[in-house]
Structure 1
Amino acid sequence: MPVGSNAVNVTISNLNATSSYIVQLRCITKDGLNCVCIWSKEILVPHKLMNKPRISYNVTTQVSPGRRSILLKWEVAQSENILGYFVNVERIPNSCSHPPNHISLKDRKILVNLSMAYYRLNISAYNEAGESPRATYIVPEFSATDLPGQIHVKSQGTNAVVTWTPEYNPKCFVVDWGTGKEDMHMKIITTTTGNFTLGNFQPYKLYKIMVHASDVCQCESFIRHEKTFGVTHFYSVEGVPRTGPANVTVLNITKHSALVMWTEIAAEDCLGFLQGYRISYTDSSMKKSPAVTLNSSTTSYHLTGLRKKTTYRVQISGFTNAGEGPLTPSQPFNTPKYDKGELEGFVIGLCFSTIFILIFAPLTCSLVIKRLKISFWSSVPSPRNSSALQDMNNWKPVSRSLLQTLSDNDTTSLFVIECESKAPLTLDLFTDGGDSKHDTCQTEKPSNSIDMSPRHEEIPVEAVTSEEDTISTEVPLLSDYASLEFSQKALMSLAVSMPDRTAHPHLEMELSSKPEQTVQELLIRIWKRS
C-alpha cells in the first residue's frame, strides 16, 4: 500500500477485527537511483478481543465474623496476544466519588477478602488492540447466623429507628438498607451513638438493613477494613400474603392417606413476615376437615385418616402477623378402594386358600371320620389274633370215635356219664323241667384212667327242642374268643381221658360241684338234625 513520503502514520481499512495482521514497511526509490530498499521488521497488529471472560470457578468462605474470602477463576476464548486482565471490585451501594478499585493481573484468578456487604466484580482481558467486554460477578448473599452483634429496628410511621450495641468503638459505622441489590442506600455514621433513624420506608415491602464497622473512614479503604456487625430485615407495615403457595400437587395417594407438596410463597408476595401455612380439605359430601397449621419452612404434608373411594379437595393459604392470605385453587384427588397390590394380594390369598381347602379338607375329614369310628364303633376283632387259634398248632390228635355225632333224629335219649378226674370241670344248667339230681361216681383205677358207667334215661318229648330253640341258663352264653378257647381245652381234656370203647356221641361234662347245692346242674346241648 503506497503512502506519501512525508506520512508518519497510515490507516488500513476493511480488515477483519478477529484476525491478527503483520505489517512491514520499506521505501520506494526514485527514478534513476540505483538503490534497493529492504523491508522493515514485522509489526504485529493483534486482533480485537471480542469475547468476555467466562467465570469457571467460584467459592466463598467465611474467614472471620463479618469477613469472607472470594476466589474466582475464569477462561477466555481468544488467549493469543492477551497481555493481562483487569478486575474492578465495586461496593454496592457506593456513595463515594472515588472510582472502584482497579486491579491488574496476569493470571486468570483472583482472591479477595470482603465484608458481608453486596459487591460486584467486573473482569476483562486486554491486549494492544484494546480491552475485551466485561464479565460481571455478584457476590452472593450470606447466612447471618455468625455475626459479632445484633441490631434492632422499630417502626415509626414511614421511618425506622435502628439500634445496636457495638462490641467495640470503631471510628465509623456504615449502614446499608434497601429492598435488593439494585435498590440499596448507604450512610456513613461517624458518631459513637448506638442508634439512628432511617426514613422513606414504604409499606408492605421487605427491607434489609446491614451495619458495618470500619477503623478507616475513607471510601477507598472500606474494602480492606470494613467488617459486618449485624443484619436484620424489616417491614414498616405488614399485610397478608398476596397469593397462596404455587405448584400444589398431591402424590402417593392411598386409600387412607395422601402427600401434599407445594412451593413456598415468593418474598415479594408475602407482604409481611410469613408465619406459616394452613391446609384445609373437604370430601365429596362437602364435610370440611379441621385445618392443619404448619410453619413457614414446611413445603409438604402427609394427610392421614382419609376414607377410601372418596373425592377430596385440598387448598393451602399462607398467613402473616396481619392475617391469612387467599386460598389456592382447590386441588382434587380421589382415594382408591384398594391400595396398590392389595387387590392382587387378596386374589392370591383367595386362590391359595381354595387350593388349601381342596387338598387338606378331604384329608382332615378322613382323619376325623377314622377317629370317630374308633371312638364310637369298635372294630370287630380278627379271628387270627385269637389265642385259641394260635394254640391249635399244639393240639394232639383226637380219636374220631369221640367226635361221632348222634344218629339221625336221636333226640329222645339222654346218656349221663359219671366220672371223677383230677381236675373236674363243672357247669350249672337250668332246664325247663326243673333241677336234676347230682350223681357222682368214683373209680378205683389210677388217676390217669377214668371209669364211666352210662345210664339211660328217657327224655320227654316236651324237653326236645328244635335247632332254633334256645336253652335258658343261669348265665348268658359266652361267645367271645376266651370262652371258645376254654370250651375247646375242656373238650380236649375230656376226650383224651376217655377210652375209645366208652366213647358216645353225646358227651356231658360235670363242670362244677358246689357243696352247698344238692342238685348238680348240667349244661346240655341237644343237636337236632333235620
Structure 2
Amino acid sequence: MAAGGGCEIFPKPTIVVSACRAPCRVVGCRAARQKQNAVGSEPTCMFSSLDGVHDLDCFRKSKNDEKCTWESGKHGPKSYTFILQQADKPHCVIYYNLTEPSQKLKIFDLNFTVEVIENNAGTANCTKAVFSGSKKTQRSCGPPNEVLLSRTPGALQVNVTWLKEDGNNKISVRYRALGSHSWNETVETQLPNTAVVEKLTPSLVYIVQIQCVTTAECSQCPRSKNYYVPSAELTTQPILVSAKYTDITQKTGCRLISITWKFPVKDLYDGYRVTVWKESGEPPQAQLTTSEPEIRLILSYSAYRLNISAYNNASVSPAATHVIPQHIGANILGDGRLNVTVHNSTAFTIHWRPDLIEKYVCYVVEWMKQGHSGWYLSFFEDAIARKTVSSISERSFEHLEPYTRYRVTLHLRPNKNTCNMKSINNSESTYGTTEFYHTEGSPVGAPANVSFHNVTLNSAVLQWSQIPEEDLRGFLLGYIIYYTEHHYQETSTAHNITVDPGSTSFHMEALKSGTAYQVQISGFTSAGEGIRSIPSVFKTDPK
C-alpha cells in the first residue's frame, strides 16, 4: 500500500480505451483526484445539478456488456475524466479527456464506484457525478426500443416496444411542460408496455421520459431520451360534404354508401378515424382509418351511425356525426315476404317464405317505433320459417305499446359460423320490412290545411294535409269528406264521399252555382272514424 493509505500503482491493465483514444492510466486514486482539483488554490469540483454532469448510470445489458452513461452540463465544450474504483482493489482505472458521455467498463468485483468529472473548456471549475453499485444488481432493461405517443384531449397515450432481450415490462413515465425545470410526478402502469398520462393542458408542449419499472429481472431501468409532445390539438371537427346512398343491383337488399368530408385546417392532421355502428345498438363498432376524406361501404337497409374524426400524434378532433337512415324500399315494405302475428303486449312472431331456409340459416330481426333506436335479435334457424320474439327471452325488449306503429325488418347473414355480426361492411342484406300495431285505435287528429282551388260554377278542387302518424293510432284506411250547402239558419242535405288513404285532394263536381258549401274531413282505421276537421266554407261561381 502507498504511504498515507494511497493506492498502489499497478502495471497498465488491458482495457478498452476511450473514444478519443486517450491511454488508460493506473495511478493512486487519491493522486488522481488531487490532479483534477489542482487547478486553483482549493478544490472546485462540485456535485452537479442540471448545470453540470448528471444522471450518471452504470448497467449491464448482457454478459461482458457493461457500460456507464451520463448527461453533460449545459454550457460550452467539455471533456470528462472517468474513474472506476472496485471494492477490495487498491487501484483506480482512469480515462482522461473523454469527449463522449459514455464509457464501457469491466467489473471484476461485486461492488464498485464510478466518478465522472466534467471540465468546461476555458474555465477552472468542474462538476462531478458519482455512481455506486453491485455487479449482481446491474442488469439493465431499456430504454424502450420504440415509443408511440398519441395525444387525446387532456391526456397522452404512451405505447412502447422493447428489444427482445428486455422482454415486456411495465413502464414509468415522467413529464414536464416545455420551459419548466421540474418533472411532474411519475405515472406507473398496471399493464406492460402502455401508460396514460392524464390532466394535461391542451395548449402546452410536454417533454416525456420513459423507463421500465424495476423488478428482480430488471434491476436497472435507465430513462429514455426526451420525447417532445406537440400541442397541435385538433379542436374543430370535419365538415361533411356529401352523402350518397345507391342500391346495388347485383346485391339485393344492399346499398353502396359514399361519404365525403373535408377538414378546415390543412396540414395539421395525419389521417381520419371513422367509427361505424348500427343504430339498433348491435355490436360490433367498426373502427376504420383512412388518409383520404372519403369512405365507401356496402351496407344493408338498416340504420347506421358514423363518427368521423381527424387525428395527429397529439390529439383526436371532435367527431362529425352522420346518421344513415333506414332505407324503406318500395319493393320490400309490405310486399308479403315478411308478416307479423301479434300474440300480446310481450310477444310477436315474424314469418317469412320457407324457401329462404334452403340458402340462409343466420338472421337478425330489428324492430322499432318511430323516433327510437329499437331492438334487435340475431338467431339461427334451419327448420321453420318463423321466429317468436318475447320480452321473457329478450330482456331489453319492453312491452308493446297500444296505438303505436312498429316497424320490423329481417336481415340475412351469409356467414354460417356465427349469426352474430362479425363486421359492419358487406356483412348482411335486407330481406323485407313490414309494420304492425299491437292494438289499433281511431285517429285523434284530423286533416289540416283544408283549402279550395280551381273553383267554377259547379266544381272545386279540395286539398288537405295528411293526419300525423302519431295521431293515427292505427293503419289509415281512408278519408271521409262531408259537405253540405251552407245557408244561414237553414239546414240542407249532408253528403259524404270516401277516398283512399293516399289521397290529399279531391275534385268535387255536380255542385250548384253561386252556392256556399261547408266541408269537413276525417280519417278512419279498423277501429273506427276519427275526429273531423274544423268546418271550411267556399262558394261556387255564380252564373
TM norm structure 1: 0.54
Contact 1:150 1:164 in 2 (8 A): yes
Contact 2:257 2:297 in 1 (8 A): yes
Is the alpha carbon distance of 1:82 and 1:276 closer, same or farther for their aligned partners in structure 2, counting shifts above 3 Å? same
Contact 1:101 1:220 in 2 (8 A): no
Alignment partner, residue 221 of structure 1: 423
Q: d(CA) in 1 for partners of 2:282 and 2:327? A: 22
**Number of equivalenced pairs:** 315
- Of 354, 369, 372, the residue aligned with 1:179 is 369
Is the alpha carbon distance of 1:161 and 1:8 closer, same or farther for their aligned partners in structure 2, counting shifts above 3 Å? closer
1:136 pairs with 2:338: no
CA deviation profile, 1:229-275 (whole Å, cap 9, x unmatched):
22111111111111111222223333322222111112111111111
Q: d(CA) in 1 for partners of 2:506 and 2:348? A: 38
Is the alpha carbon distance of 1:253 and 1:11 closer, same or farther for their aligned partners in structure 2, counting shifts above 3 Å? farther
User: Which runs of 5 or more residues in structure 2 are unaligned?
Assistant: 1-48, 55-173, 181-199, 208-227, 391-398
Q: d(CA) in 2 for partners of 1:331 and 1:132? A: 56
CA deviation profile, 1:111-165 (whole Å, cap 9, x unmatched):
1001111211111112233122212222123233335981111122223221112
- Of 395, 399, 408, the residue aligned with 1:209 is 408
Is the alpha carbon distance of 1:180 and 1:91 closer, same or farther for their aligned partners in structure 2, counting shifts above 3 Å? same
> 1:4-403 residue pairs with structure 2 within 5 A?
9-10=176-177, 45=230, 47-63=232-248, 64-96=251-283, 98=284, 100-147=285-332, 150-158=337-345, 159-165=347-353, 166-167=355-356, 168-180=358-370, 182-192=372-382, 193-199=384-390, 200-216=399-415, 217-221=419-423, 223-285=425-487, 286-337=491-542
Alignment partner, residue 421 of structure 1: none
Is the alpha carbon distance of 1:11 and 1:247 closer, same or farther for their aligned partners in structure 2, counting shifts above 3 Å? farther
Q: d(CA) in 2 for partners of 1:270 and 1:94? A: 28
Contact 1:65 1:146 in 2 (8 A): no
Hey, which of these two has a bigger chunk of helix by percent?
A: 1
Contact 1:256 1:335 in 2 (8 A): yes
Is the alpha carbon distance of 1:160 and 1:21 closer, same or farther for their aligned partners in structure 2, counting shifts above 3 Å? closer
Amino acid at match of 2:388: T
Contact 1:172 1:215 in 2 (8 A): yes
Kindly name which structure, 1 or 2, has the bigger radius of gyration based on alpha carbons.
1
> Deviation at 1:67?
1.0
Amino acid at match of 1:160: F
Is the alpha carbon distance of 1:84 and 1:155 closer, same or farther for their aligned partners in structure 2, counting shifts above 3 Å? same
Contact 2:234 2:317 in 1 (8 A): yes
Is the alpha carbon distance of 1:133 and 1:12 closer, same or farther for their aligned partners in structure 2, counting shifts above 3 Å? farther
Q: Secondary structure in 2 aligned to 1:220?
A: coil
Q: d(CA) in 2 for partners of 1:74 and 1:309? A: 60
Is the alpha carbon distance of 1:126 and 1:137 closer, same or farther for their aligned partners in structure 2, counting shifts above 3 Å? same
> Deviation at 1:23?
10
Is the alpha carbon distance of 1:161 and 1:21 closer, same or farther for their aligned partners in structure 2, counting shifts above 3 Å? closer
Q: d(CA) in 1 for partners of 2:453 and 2:439? A: 38
Q: Secondary structure in 1 aligned to 2:442?
A: coil
Contact 2:461 2:508 in 1 (8 A): yes
Contact 2:177 2:204 in 1 (8 A): no
Contact 1:316 1:327 in 2 (8 A): yes
Contact 2:481 2:519 in 1 (8 A): yes
Q: d(CA) in 1 for partners of 2:50 and 2:509? A: 94
Is the alpha carbon distance of 1:276 and 1:22 closer, same or farther for their aligned partners in structure 2, counting shifts above 3 Å? same
Contact 2:229 2:314 in 1 (8 A): no
Q: Secondary structure in 1 aligned to 2:426?
A: helix
> Deviation at 1:20?
9.1
Cα RMSD over matched residues?
Answer: 3.2
Amino acid at match of 2:177: V
User: What is the aligned-residue identity percentage?
Assistant: 30
CA deviation profile, 1:321-352 (whole Å, cap 9, x unmatched):
111111010112233436xxxxxxxxxxxxxx
Q: d(CA) in 1 for partners of 2:255 and 2:471? A: 31
> Deviation at 1:198?
2.4
> Deviation at 1:93?
1.4
User: Which runs of 5 or more residues in structure 1 are unaligned?
Assistant: 25-42, 339-530
> Deviation at 1:47?
4.0
Is the alpha carbon distance of 1:8 and 1:138 closer, same or farther for their aligned partners in structure 2, counting shifts above 3 Å? closer
TM norm structure 2: 0.53
Contact 2:459 2:508 in 1 (8 A): yes
Q: Secondary structure in 2 aligned to 1:269?
A: helix
> Deviation at 1:277?
1.0
